[in-house]
Chains A and B, each alone.
Chain A
Amino acid sequence: MTSIPRRGLLAGAGSALLGLTLAGCDQISRNAGVRATLARAEGLTMAAQRLILARGALAREFTAADISPDFRANGSLRPAGVAYQNLVANSFADWRLEIGGLVERPLSLSLEDLRRRPARTQITRHDCVEGWSSIGQWTGARLSALLEEAALKPEARYIVFHCADRLDPNAVGDRGLYYESIDLVDAFHEQTILAYEMNGQVLPVKHGAPVRLRVERQLGYKHAKYVMRIEAVESFAHIAGGKGGFWEDRGYEWYAGI
């Protein structure tokens, strides 16, 4: 009977072909031209979402009963480094939020200063790029009020958030530091706040103490934790990897509305 070896041969050829195809897929996925082409869809996605999304449209807000008891913390859970440890030890009394860059009046605010600024409380869903969601209540200073106080210069187009955590200890220089950026549409959105409270308590360290950004119509990695400095810029091309954020420098979309 030749059928057994023939079948074996066929199976062998089949799996070899499959293996080649799969290896081919990986090759294609690593190709720079292919990556650049695939990345073009992001512009279309952002344009389409901004088209259907009224500027002021709010993310759905939930009730206290919906708050997740198991809100997951991701990314850095406790920034290393003496500077941050000292801030924690002193309950952030020495922390100052610097707001600068393309502004008329640079600000340096303590946590108490920030708590005296116009605030907003919202119960929203946090959507991680990994696929999970948790619901939490956030209280924080409205970013729009802070930016109005600092008075943006006309050339300012993006707001960059520089953070205390080095999420990639192996990266050189500022490339390992966490940072994020949003445009002015999101910066002036009603639900965009610098949260210092979560679920009615002081924001825990694992969730970004003393303040984290909430930018509710985008995915979790845009919600920068451990914010130390806010910078208004015309372009973020000169910062770290130049893509506008820690994860963006690692291939994730700058516009994280999907």
Chain B
Amino acid sequence: MANAADSQISPQPPAKPPPRHSLLVRLTHWLNVLVLLVLLGSGLQIFNAHPALYWGHASTFADPWISMTAEPRGQGLAGITQVGGLKLETTGVLGLSDGMQRGFPAWATLPGYRSLAEGRRWHFFFAWLFVFNGLAYLAWGLFSGHFRRDLTPQRRELSPRHLWAEIKDHVALRFPHGRYNVLQKLIYLVVIFGLLPLMVVSGLGMSPGVNAAWPWTFEMFGGRQSARTIHFLSALALVAFVLIHVGMVIASGPLRQLRVMITGGAISPPKPGALS
């Protein structure tokens, strides 16, 4: 309050502090939200065309490591999800929903009705958007110093003591305001340089054209069906990350965090008495 009053009466407004999130980070972040949502929904639509996963080069139809099917149960059908030797009844969600045999339910797929052709159109269009958006973010992060300044953990942050203290703070839902904490930095680095590139490479690992040009795209996974499995599992990991990420935003002041991610916000001004 005092600051606001000061700036109103001062003839020369103080220099605007740099935003907490730069414009490019905000733009690529929100575009990514839309893009990943479309990729997830259309990806599940594509998965539904053959709701089973395998390891290796080829499908072993009698023995997928996970499958979603419907089987007769009493008068009707039951949705069955099989993972290894485990057989779960998942009627209404997986295997059978709205009285129809399908892997994931209509509300999770894009489009909601069954159309592999349309799912593929959405998926590949947004996959290109994802790549362009990601490249813009990576280039910016590299050249602006965003990765070095904001995401690279400092040596002292990586000490076991500091890590342990931060884990305890997280568990107690106490979040330091201001810059990213080290757990945040580490998980962002894993997602940005691990999980998201893995989505792209495992996706390309399923393309017969790319496979002929760059055989490593499927060989690194041990085969095309392994690439499909890894693509699915890393999508699940990404969903888990988003849930935790949104959970953390909610736990640490959702309105303020959301506002800052949209407007950019400002780095907190130094406290009175602090050395600048």
Contacts and interface: CB of A to CB of B under 8 A. Distances in A.
A49 B112 contact: no
A40 interface: yes
A133 B213 contact: no
Interface string A119-147: 00000010111111111000000000000
Contacts of B41: 25
B121 A39 contact: yes
B50 A216 contact: no
Interface of B: 41, 46-47, 49-50, 52, 54, 57-62, 106-107, 110-113, 115-118, 120-122, 124-125, 127-128, 206-215, 218, 224-225, 228
Contact of A252 (B47, B117, B122, B125): B117
A135 B110 CA distance: 31
Question: Which A-B residue pairs are the 9 nearest by beta carbons?
Answer: A257-B209, A251-B117, A29-B111, A41-B125, A258-B207, A131-B50, A132-B59, A130-B49, A38-B121
Given A29-B122, A70-B62, A52 B213 contact: yes
B49 A133 contact: no
A22 B107 contact: yes
A253 B49 contact: no
11 contacts: A23-B112, A37-B125, A39-B121, A41-B121, A125-B57, A125-B208, A130-B116, A131-B46, A132-B225, A135-B58, A251-B115
A219 B116 CA distance: 14
A41 B123 CA distance: 10
B49, B110, B125, B206 pick with most chain A CB within 10 angstroms: B125
A72 B125 CA distance: 29
A70 B60 contact: yes
A218 interface: yes
Name B's interface SS. helix
Given A53-B212, A66-B58, A131-B46, 11 more contacts: A22-B112, A23-B112, A38-B122, A52-B213, A132-B61, A252-B117, A252-B120, A253-B120, A257-B207, A257-B209, A258-B206
B117 A70 contact: no
B162 to A, nearest CB: 40
A108 interface: no
A116 interface: no
Task: Give the one of B58, B110, B112, B118 with max A CB within 10 A.
Answer: B58
Q: Which of A25, A39, A52 has the most CB of B within 10 A?
A: A25
Contacts of B106: 22
A250 interface: yes
A42 B209 CA distance: 13
Nearest to A54: B213
A217 B208 contact: yes
A218 B209 contact: yes
A17 interface: no
Contact of B59 (A52, A72, A129, A257): A72
B111 A59 contact: no
Interface in A33-55: 35, 37-42, 44-45, 49, 52-54
A52 B212 CA distance: 10
A136 B105 CA distance: 34
A133 B205 CA distance: 13
A16 interface: no
Contact of B57 (A39, A40, A53, A66): A66
Nearest to A67: B58
Contacts of A252: 116-117, 120
Max count, chain B CB within 10 A of own CB: residue among A35, A72, A217: A217
Given A133-B225, A257-B207, A25 B213 contact: no
